[in-house]
Amino acid sequence: MALNVKVEKALNEQINKEFWSSYLYLSMANYLADQGFAGASNWMRVQFEEEQFHALRMIDYVNERNGRVILKPIKEVPATWDSLLAVFKSALEHEESITASINTCMDIAMEARDHAAAHFLQWFVNEQVEEEANVTTIVDNLLMVGETGNGVYMIDKELATRVFVAPVITN
C-alpha cells in the first residue's frame, strides 16, 4: 500500500523538523560545554542523537511505504542563551512545538484513514510525552536549586550520566 500523499508531505516536513531539532540540541550542547556545564552538554548531545534517530526512523518508514523522502535545508539554530535554566526552558518550549507537530501528523494520517501511518506515529506521540516530562523535571529541579551553587553542580553531575540507547521498536 502506497503512502498517502498528504501523509508523505507531513512526514517529510517532520523529518526536517527532527533534523533541525538535532542541530538545535547540538548547538545547546556546544553552548553548555563552553559555559562549563559538561553534564548538561552531555545530556544535550544525547538528545541530539535521539532526534537523529527519530528522523532516520521516519525516513525508513517513508521508504518502506514507497514514499519519497525530500530533504530540505536546515535553518540556522540559536547559538547562545542567557543561562543553564534558559537553555532547558528553550528545550521544553521546543519539545512542546514538536509535540504539536507530531500531533498534526497524526491528525493528517487519521483524516487520510491511513491506519498504518497512525500506528507508526503513535510511537512518536508516546515519545513526546516522555520528552516533555524529562525536560520539565530538569527545569523544575533548576528552579528549585537556583542558578548557582551546589545544587546546580549536582544536577550537572546527574545529567552527565545520560547515554543514548537506541529504542527497540517492536511494532
Query: What is the pLDDT confidence band of residue 167, given thresholds at 50, 70 and 90?
Result: confident
Q: What is the CA radius of gyration of the chain?
A: 17
Place of cell 549536582: 154
Q: What is the pLDDT of residues 92-125, one digit of tens each?
A: 999 999 999 999 999 999 999 999 999 999 999 9
pTM of the model: 0.94
Residue 124's pLDDT is what?
97
Residue 164's pLDDT is what?
85
Instruction: Tell me: pLDDT of 28 over 90.
Output: yes
* Domain annotation for the chain: domains and CATH numbers: 5-159 (1.20.1260.10)
66's torsion region: left (phi>0), alpha (psi -120 to 50) or beta?
left
Residue 68's pLDDT is what?
96
